[in-house]
């Protein structure tokens, strides 16, 4: 196999005027017809809303109907959002060997730079994307393994991770109110082990044949995504059609993950989404994946089973086992849980 520095898409994407055949998706997986974000917008929720029952209702409704919503007035500084996007753009713009070097300090291999998908060898067809991913626990553990380049990476991304942790707990508290769980249900183990990814989708000469990221559901509690201000790419599947998620400057896109689907006993569901490419401009997205500690037991919350006629729809599983299964089986993981 070729070495990672030469495999990274950012090292060669502009050499060809057509995409290599291993990047051409099967016809049924190609982008095809998409509903514009103007026709079917993903709900935008103002977290500054003072009327709490109204806020709770809106978030619950969006989570149930779309599995996705955008938030504004979330309290994260717009400067920090810009700085974070920029630092990751700079990161992906560094020489390939330097990027790899910045991700090789952790002896456990949890800091990764990769191209296409996390499991490159398993995918017969490749995706038009490079990614950086690493854990960013609120405990600050393993901060010594974080990239040090670009020079203020640790300062900015560290600050951003702390803000994401705060925002996560705020959103989950509202979801708890909506579901009927105690407000602090997710404080502690269930949000203890988040990861941060920065995806880089270079311009692609044939966007109609390729995908940046395959259709998937997130194996998380929730996911908070910051996307480029003007570049579309994220799409959500609703009632069998793909709808584009409009980039709204300074908003975050939030989606429900499979672990919250289990905990809520199916009242909230992870929804399929993907990313497409375009031929003119690179797109960057910064994704905060909310994961529990590996030891956490994931199962339908007792408080939701009591007084409900619905039996538990999912078996109990440790987060470690769930993540291993997800890595190996992808979307099939859901069937195994029932």
| Beta carbons of 221 and 190 less than 8 angstroms apart | yes
- Asked if 323 is part of the footprint of ligand OGA (rule: CB under 6 A), the reply reads no
Binding ligand OGA by CB under 6 A: which of 175, 191, 224, 287? 287
**Pattern of binders to ligand OGA over 50-79, x per CB under 6 A?**
------------------------------
213 is in the binding site of which of ligand OGA, Ni ion, none (Cβ under 5 to 8 A by kind)?
A: ligand OGA
**Local structure of 155: helix, strand or coil:** helix
Binding residues among 25-44 for ligand OGA as defined by CB under 6 A? none
Token pair, residue 197, equals 């990814």
Binding ligand OGA by CB under 6 A: which of 92, 199, 200, 267? 199
**Local structure of 306: helix, strand or coil:** coil
Residue indicated by tokens 């709808």: 243
Q: DSSP assignment, residue 331?
A: G
Binding residues among 217-246 for ligand OGA as defined by CB under 6 A? 218, 225, 227, 233-234
Parallel, antiparallel or unpaired: strands 44-46 and 68-72: parallel
**Pattern of binders to ligand OGA over 258-277, x per CB under 6 A?**
---------------x-x--
Q: What is the dihedral of CA 49, 55, 59, 62, to 10 degrees?
A: -90
User: Which lies closer to ligand OGA via its Cβ, residue 176 or residue 259?
Assistant: 259
Question: Which region holds residue 20: left if phi is over 0, alpha if psi is between -120 and 50, else beta?
Answer: beta
User: Which lies closer to ligand OGA via its Cβ, residue 70 or residue 265?
Assistant: 70
CA pair distance 224, 16, nearest whole angstrom: 34
Total site size for ligand OGA, rule CB under 6 A: 12
CA dihedral over 74, 80, 86, 91, signed as positive or negative: negative
CB of 302 to Ni ion, least distance (A): 29
275 is in the binding site of which of ligand OGA, Ni ion, none (Cβ under 5 to 8 A by kind)?
A: ligand OGA
CA pair distance 86, 288, nearest whole angstrom: 16
285 is in the binding site of which of ligand OGA, Ni ion, none (Cβ under 5 to 8 A by kind)?
A: ligand OGA
Token pair, residue 170, equals 């705020």
Token pair, residue 125, equals 């067809």
- Asked if 285 is part of the footprint of ligand OGA (rule: CB under 6 A), the reply reads yes
199 is in the binding site of which of Ni ion, ligand OGA, none (Cβ under 5 to 8 A by kind)?
A: ligand OGA
- Asked if 190 is part of the footprint of ligand OGA (rule: CB under 6 A), the reply reads no
Q: Which residue is nearest to ligand OGA (CB)?
A: 285
195 is in the binding site of which of Ni ion, ligand OGA, none (Cβ under 5 to 8 A by kind)?
A: none
Token pair, residue 17, equals 């005027």
Residues that bind Ni ion in the complex, under the rule CB under 5 A: 218
Specify the long-range contacts of residues 120-123, CB closer than 8 Å, at least 24 apart. 120/7, 121/1, 123/214
Q: Per DSSP, what are the bridge partners of residue 133?
A: 112, 197
CB of 67 to Ni ion, least distance (A): 11
CA-nearest of 9, 216, 257 to 131 is: 9
CB of 253 to ligand OGA, least distance (A): 8
Q: Which residue is nearest to Ni ion (CB)?
A: 218
234 is in the binding site of which of ligand OGA, Ni ion, none (Cβ under 5 to 8 A by kind)?
A: ligand OGA
Contacting residues toward ligand OGA, per CB under 6 A: 197, 199, 213, 218, 225, 227, 233-234, 273, 275, 285, 287
């Amino acid at each position: 196999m070729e070495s990672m520095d030469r495999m990274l898409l950012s090292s060669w994407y502009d050499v060809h005027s057509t995409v290599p055949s291993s990047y051409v998706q099967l016809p049924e997986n190609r982008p095809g017809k998409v509903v514009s974000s103007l026709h079917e917008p993903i709900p935008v929720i103002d977290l500054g809303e003072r009327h709490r029952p109204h806020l709770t209702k809106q978030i619950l409704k969006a989570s149930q109907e779309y599995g996705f919503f955008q938030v504004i007035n979330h309290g994260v500084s717009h400067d920090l959002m810009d700085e974070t996007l920029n630092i990751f753009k700079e990161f992906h713009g560094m020489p390939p060997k330097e990027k790899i070097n910045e991700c090789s300090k952790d002896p456990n291999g949890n800091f990764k730079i990769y191209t296409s998908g996390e499991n490159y060898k398993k995918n017969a067809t490749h995706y038009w994307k490079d990614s950086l991913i690493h854990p960013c626990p609120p405990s600050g553990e393993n901060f010594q393994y974080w990239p040090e380049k670009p020079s203020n990476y640790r300062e900015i991304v560290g600050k951003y991770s702390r803000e994401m942790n705060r925002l996560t707990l705020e959103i989950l508290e509202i979801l708890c109110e909506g579901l009927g769980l105690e407000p602090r249900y997710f404080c502690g183990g269930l949000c203890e082990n988040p990861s941060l990814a920065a995806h880089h989708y270079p311009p692609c000469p044939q966007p109609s044949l390729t995908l940046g990221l395959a259709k998937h559901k997130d194996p998380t509690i929730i996911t908070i995504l910051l996307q480029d201000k003007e570049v579309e790419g994220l799409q959500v599947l609703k009632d069998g059609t793909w709808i584009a998620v409009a980039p709204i400057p300074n908003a975050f896109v939030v989606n429900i993950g499979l672990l919250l689907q289990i905990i809520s006993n199916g009242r909230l569901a992870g929804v399929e989404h993907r990313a497409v490419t375009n031929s003119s401009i690179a797109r960057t997205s910064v994704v905060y994946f909310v994961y529990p500690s590996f030891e956490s037991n994931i199962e339908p919350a007792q408080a939701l089973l009591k007084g409900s006629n619905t039996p538990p729809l999912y078996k109990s599983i440790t987060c470690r086992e769930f993540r291993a299964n997800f890595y190996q089986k992808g979307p099939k993981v859901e069937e195994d849980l029932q």
